[in-house]
Amino acid sequence: MTRSSEAVFELDLRREIRRVGMHWRLVLGAGVTTGVFGLLLALAFPRVYDAEVEIKIARSFEELIETPSEVSDFLLSAAFRSQLAATSAWAGASLAAVEPLQSSVRIRVVAPSPAQAATAVELVADAVIKRHRPLYERAVREYDEYVALLEKRIQAMAADTDQRERLIREHKTGANETVASMLVLIQDRNAEIIKASRELRDLRVRRETRTKPSYVVVAPMAVPAVLWPRPVVFVAVAFLLGLGLAASAVLLTVPLETSDASRQSAPVEV
Of 43-52, 157-166, 195-204, the least confident: 43-52
Per-residue 3-state assignment (H helix, E strand, C coil) for 174-209: CCCCCHHHHHHHHHHHHHHHHHHHHHHHHHHHHHHH
Residue 92, pLDDT score: 83
User: What does the pLDDT average to over 23-47?
Assistant: 81
Residue 107 in this model has a pLDDT that exceeds 80: yes
Better pLDDT: 5 or 74: 74
At 80 the pLDDT is 92
Q: Strand pairing partners for 215?
A: 56
* Four-CA torsion 39, 40, 46, 50, nearest 10 degrees: 10
Dihedral pair phi/psi, residue 211, rounded to 5°: -125, 105
Name the DSSP letter for residue 173: -
C-alpha–C-alpha distance, residues 231 and 206, integer Å: 53
Distance CA 53, CA 96 (A): 12
For the chain, the average pLDDT equals: 79
In the chain, where the domains are located: 3-45+230-265, 49-222
For the cut 60, the answer to whether the pLDDT of residue 258 exceeds it is no
Residue 53 or residue 46, greater confidence: 53
Poorest-pLDDT segment among 138-147, 193-202, 205-214 = 205-214
- Structure confidence at residue 218 (pLDDT): 64
Pairwise CA distance, residues 106 & 261, whole Å: 65
Contact 131, 61 (CB under 8 A): no
* Whether the predicted pLDDT of 222 surpasses 50: no
Distance (Å, whole) CA 140 – CA 193: 24
**Span of 62-66, 81-85, 155-159, 168-172 with lowest mean pLDDT:** 168-172
pLDDT at 139: 83
Is-contact 120 156, C-beta < 8 A? no
CA distance 44 to 102: 41
Helix (H, G, I), strand (E, B) or coil at 266: coil
Residue 124: name the closest of 94, 153, 155, 162 by CA. Answer: 94
Bigger pLDDT: 151 vs 2? 151
Percent of the chain with pLDDT over 90: 16
Q: What is the pLDDT of residue 263?
A: 46
Residue 181, pLDDT score = 79
Q: How far apart are the two ends of the chain, measured CA to CA in Å? A: 37
200 versus 176: which is more confidently predicted? 200
Whether 70 has a pLDDT exceeding 90, the answer reads yes
Q: Is the pLDDT of residue 3 over 70?
A: no
The answer to whether 105 and 68 have CB atoms below 8 angstroms apart is yes
> Looking at residue 269, what is its pLDDT?
46
CB 265 within 8 A of CB 38: no
